Structure 1
Amino acid sequence: MRGVPAAVSPRRLAALCAVFLLVTSCGGGRSGEGAADRPPGAPTGVTAEAGSATSVHVMWNAVAAADTEVSRYEVYQGTTKVKEVPGSKHMVDVTGLRPSTVYVFTVRARDAEGRLGPSSREVRATTPGAAADDSAPTRPAKLRGRAAGSRAVQLSWSASTDDRGVVSYDIQQGGTKIHSVGGNQTAAVVTGLRPGTRYVFTVRARDAAGNLSPAGAAVRLTTAGSGAAAPTAPTGFRATSHRSGGAYYLDLSWVPPRVDGVVTEYEVHLDGRAATSLVQGGDASRARAAYRFYVGREAGVTHRVRIRAMLPDGTWGGFSAERTVTTGPRR
C-alpha cells in the first residue's frame, strides 16, 4: 500500500484534504454525521388546477424533513418563487395570472434550519379565457360525505350550473377554504384531519370570472377514533401587565399545543370576547411563544384573558387556562 509521497507539500496536502472533505474527513469523521445535514425531500402528489381565469390552486403532500420539521413550503412559477406558506399548510392559491395561459409550478420544502430541499416534479395548469360575467354559479346541492378512517373524509355533491361554466369547487371547513378541485369534479377527499373530531363542511362553486356561488347545505362528519387525541389547548399560559408610554399592555406567553403540523395562528379572548388575533408565520416556534397587546390607559382595571390556536386542520383548538390580570395601581 502506498502512502503520501514525501514530495507532497503541506499546502498541497491541505488542498487535497479540502477536496476529500466532500466524502470524508482527513481526521476520520464520525459515522452518520452527514445524515443531520440532509435537507427535506421533494414534495410529492403536487397538483395544479385553474381556480378562475386569473388564479391556480396548487396542492401537495406533507414532507418529512431529515432531522428537523419542515417550517415552510415555497411555490415556484417557472423559476420564480411566487408564494410561501407555513409548514402546516399544503395548498395555496396563486393569483394575478393571465387568462388562457399555461403555467408551470413546482414546490420546495425548507426546514427549520433553513435548508431548502429539491423541487417537486413540474405540474401544469391552463387558465380559462376571461369574459364579462357578473353571474355566480348556482350553489352545489346534495352534499354527502363519510369518514374515511381517522384522518380523512370523502365528500360528493351535485354539479352546479353557470352561464359560462364552473371552473372549480372550493371545499370549506368552518368557513375556511381547505381544498379545491376542478369544475369537472363533484367529489373530493379531505385529509390531515384529527381522530374522533366533528367537522362541518360546505362546498361553493367558482366560475372563470371568479364569481363564487353561495355555499350549499352543510354536512357534519366525525372522523373515526376516540376523542383522546393530543390535547389542542395551549399550555403553561401566563399573563402579566406592564406600562409603557402612558399605556398598559398585557404580556402573554404559552406553549403551543402538540398537534400534527405547526400552529401559526391564535385568537386572544379578553373578558369573555374575542379581542385580537395573531399570525406568527412559517417559522412559528414549537417551544414557548409570546405576544403583547394594548389594553388601555386606565390603571387598576382587572381583565380575564385566555387564548386558543387555529389548528392545521382548520379547526379551533381548546382554550388555555384563563388568567386574571390587573393593570397598574390607581394613582
Structure 2
Amino acid sequence: MAACGALLLTASCAWTGDGGGGGTEGRLPGAPAGVTAAAGSATSVHVMWNRAPDGTGIAVYEVYRGAVKVREVPGSEHMVDVVGLTPATAYVFTVRARNSEGRSGPRSGRVRATTPAASATDAAPPTRPGSARGEPVGSRSVRLSWGASTDDRGVVSYDIHQGSSKIHSVGGDRTATVVTGLRPGTRYSFSVRARDAADNVSPAGDTVRLTTAPGTDDARATAPTGFRAEARRADGAYYLDLSWIPLRADGVITEYEIHLDGRPATSLQWGGAVPRERASYSFYAGRDAGVAYRVRIRARLPDGTWGGFSAERTAVTKP
C-alpha cells in the first residue's frame, strides 16, 4: 500500500480505509468545500459550494458576507443569490454548515467577488440565448450548452432554470455547464436566460428536455479523462505521478479518491486554487523495484456523490 507524501502545495492528503468511523453524533460538520462567488449583476452575487456527502446530517448552510450572516439555506441546497449589494464593490463570502443538533462547523475558505458598475440608463435586456442543446451524462447529470447572448453593456451572467426555478448561474463568458444531483430515469426541462449588470434579464432560450438514464450506472460519463500514471524514482524511493483532466461541473471539484489494485489507497483535497485544465498529483509508493501498480481515480461531485472511475493505468517501478 502506498503512503501519502510529496504533495502538491495546494493539496492535502488523508487516508481512507476501514478503521475508525462510527456515527456523526456529537461531531461538528466540516467546512464546506468548493465555495465560489461570481457577480450575477451590479447588485447581486451568486455563491455556490459543494454539498456535504450523504449521511452527514447537515440541516442548514449559513452564508456570510464578511462577518455578517446574510442567508441561510436548507442542507439539501448548495447555492444562493445574495442580493441588495452595491455596484462596483468588492465583497468576501464564506459558508459554514449547521447540523441537525444545531452545532455549526468552521467557515469555509474566503472567496471574493466584485460587482460591476451599474448604469441607470441601461434598460435594454440582453438578447435571447440561442442554439440550446443538452445530453444526459449518466443517470444523475446532464450537460447543457447554448449560444452566446449580446448586450450593449455586456452580459454578466447566465441563469439556468429547471422548469420555472433558477438552479444555477454561470459567468457571462461561459456558454456550457454540467448540472449534477438529478434523479435517475427522470425527465427534466432546462432553459437559459442572460443577465446584464443592470439586472435586465433576457427572454428564455430554447427549452431543452432531457431524460436521465434509468436506475444506477457506473457514472462513467462523470469520470476524469486523460488519466496518466507513471512511476518515478527519486532519492532511492519510488513515487507515482498522476495527471488528469477534471470534469467541468456546476460547481468546483476539490476531492478525489485514488485506487491502487482495485482498493482505495488515498484521497486528496485541494484547499487553494483548483486546476481546471489538467490536474497533477504525486505520492510515495515505497522502495521496491519491479512492482506493477494498477491505478485509477474518481472525483466527488458537487452534489456530494462519487463520480465514475477514470480509465485504469499500470505504473511499474523499474530498477
Cα deviation, residue 64, structure 1? 3.6
- Aligned ranges 1:177-256 → 2 under 5 Å: 177-226=166-215
* Mapped contact 2:24–2:57 kept (Cα < 8 A): no
Q: Pick from 176, 182, 191: which aligns with 2:165?
A: 176
User: Given the alignment, which residue of 66, 77, 82 partners 1:89?
Assistant: 77
Instruction: Give, as a single letter, the amino acid of the residue that structure 2 aligns with 1:75.
Output: V
Residue 40 (structure 1) shift: 1.0
d(CA) in 2 for partners of 1:122 and 1:221? Answer: 36
Give the residue type in structure 1 aligned to 2:137: A
State the one-letter code of the partner of 1:145: G
Q: Does 1:61 align with 2:50?
A: yes
> Which residue, out of 76, 81, 87, partners 1:99?
87
Q: Aligned residue for 1:131?
A: 119
Partners of 1:168 and 1:130 lie apart in 2 by 14
Change (3 A) 1:68 1:34: closer
Q: Determine the C-alpha separation between the residues in 1 that align with 2:116 and 2:155.
A: 11
Q: Is the 8 A contact 2:32 2:96 kept in 1?
A: yes
Q: Percent identity between the aligned chains?
A: 69
Amino acid corresponding to residue 43 of structure 2 in structure 1: T
Partner Cα separation in structure 2 for residue 33 and residue 220 of structure 1: 42
Q: Is the 8 A contact 1:71 1:112 kept in 2?
A: yes
CA distance in 2, matches of 1:68, 1:151: 20
Q: Which amino acid aligns with 2:48?
A: M
Distance of 1:153 and 1:86 partners within structure 2: 23
2:138 is aligned, of 132, 149, 152, to 149
Q: How does 1:109-124 map to 2 (within 5 A)?
A: 109-124=97-112
Which amino acid is 1:161 matched to? Answer: T
Residue type at the aligned position of 2:52 = V
State the distance in 1 between where 2:70 and 2:150 align: 32
TM-score normalised by the chain length of structure 2: 0.59
Partner-residue secondary structure (3-state), 1:226: coil
Unpaired stretches in structure 1, ≥5 consecutive residues: 1-30, 228-312, 314-331
Larger Rg: 1
Which 5+ residue runs of structure 2 have no aligned equivalent? 1-19, 217-302, 304-319
Higher relative contact order (CA 8 A, sep 6+): 2
Whether contact under 8 Å (1:73, 1:85) holds in the other structure is yes
Amino acid at match of 2:204: A
- The Cα offsets for residues 264-285 of structure 1, whole Å up to 9 and x where unpaired, read as xxxxxxxxxxxxxxxxxxxxxx
In structure 2, the CA distance between the partners of 1:207 and 1:37, relative to structure 1 (3 Å rule), is same
Q: 1:33 to 1:160 in 2, by over 3 A?
A: closer
Q: Distance in 2 between matches of 1:225 and 1:47?
A: 31
